[in-house]
Amino acid sequence: ATAPTPPPPAQPVRLSKVTLTKAAPSVSLAKQGGTSGAMRVNLNWQTRKQSTGWGRWGGGGDIDLDLCALYELTDGRKGVVQALGNAFGSLHRPPYIHLDGDDRTGAVTAGENLTINLDHKQDFRRILVFVTIYEGARSFADLHATVTLQPQHGAPIDFSLDECTVDSPVCALALITNTGDDLLVQREARYLVPERGSSPQRTIDRAYGWGMNWTPGRK
């Protein structure tokens, strides 16, 4: 009897970048290969200069944006990762989210980065990545920003923010939700306008029902 023909070798999975839009706002992280390792979330921005057109990419030089994340873990713990109050988080202990520093000068062209430890994806219930204006502008008008989520072992997910037409100092960027065996990334790109006396963080908490108590902080 002849030996059975061995099956053809498995083809490597070809993963390609996904750009989220209003029409197609969400994607599974597993489909992008984002099942383990570190995932970097990057915010890169460019500001429109009145006299010279668009400024360069990176920190923008004259505007200080803060990349932040609200988190809720499966054990019920909630919190925020942000430069305010030096709440930079941790990659290898809860909340398994770390802010890689604070680009306050505009000298770093990489913008701001958060890192999420996907080896602990089962510990996340939901993560809301958002950005606030710390100083340099009153709203996101005249700002062009791109968000990129780059899994360590997979293909990137990116999207641009729409033009800001309201007096907003805080923008919800992406909501990452645990679906049971996967994480779903949803483009939010939602500019919020705080009520009088309400902080950007409290505003985003209220919009997404996080239910935390906020006290003033500084960096």
CB 159 within 8 A of CB 171: no
- The contacts of residue 148 (CB under 8 Å, 6+ apart) are 40, 41, 42, 44, 156, 157, 158
pTM for this structure? 0.86
Distance CA 2, CA 207 (A): 67
Judge whether 86 lies within some domain.
yes
Judge whether 217 lies within some domain.
no
- Give the Cβ contact number of residue 200 at 10 Å: 23
112-154 pLDDT, tens digit per residue, is 899 999 999 999 999 999 999 877 778 888 888 899 999 999 9
Q: Band of the pLDDT at 10, cuts 50, 70, 90?
A: low
Judge whether 213 lies within some domain.
no
Higher pLDDT, 210 or 102: 210
Higher pLDDT, 66 or 6: 66
Tell me whether strands 78-81 and 89-90 are parallel, antiparallel or unpaired.
unpaired
DSSP element (H, E) containing 159: strand 157-160
With b meaning 16 or more CB within 10 Å and e meaning fewer, what string describes 178-187? beeeebbbeb
Q: Can you say how many angstroms the Cα of residue 111 is from the centroid of all Cα atoms in its chain?
A: 12
pLDDT(190) > 70: yes
pLDDT(210) > 50: yes
pLDDT(102) > 70: no
Structure tokens at 87: 């709440």
pLDDT(209) > 90: yes
Q: Structural domain of residue 47, as residue ranges?
A: 18-208
Judge whether 69 lies within some domain.
yes
CATH number of residue 105's parent domain: 2.60.60.30
Tell me whether strands 18-19 and 157-160 are parallel, antiparallel or unpaired.
parallel
Judge whether 219 lies within some domain.
no
CB 167 within 8 A of CB 193: yes
Judge whether 117 lies within some domain.
yes
pLDDT of residue 8: 65
77-101 pLDDT, tens digit per residue, is 999 999 988 899 999 999 999 998 6
Q: Can you say how many angstroms the Cα of residue 131 is from the centroid of all Cα atoms in its chain?
A: 8
Mean pLDDT of the 155-170 span: 93
Judge whether 8 lies within some domain.
no
- Helix (H, G, I), strand (E, B), or coil: what is residue 74? coil
Judge whether 93 lies within some domain.
yes
> How many domains, the chain?
1
User: Please, what is the end-to-end C-alpha distance for the chain in angstroms?
Assistant: 76
Distances (CA, A) of 99 to 14, 17, 115, 202: 30, 24, 6, 20
Distance CA 78, CA 68 (A): 14
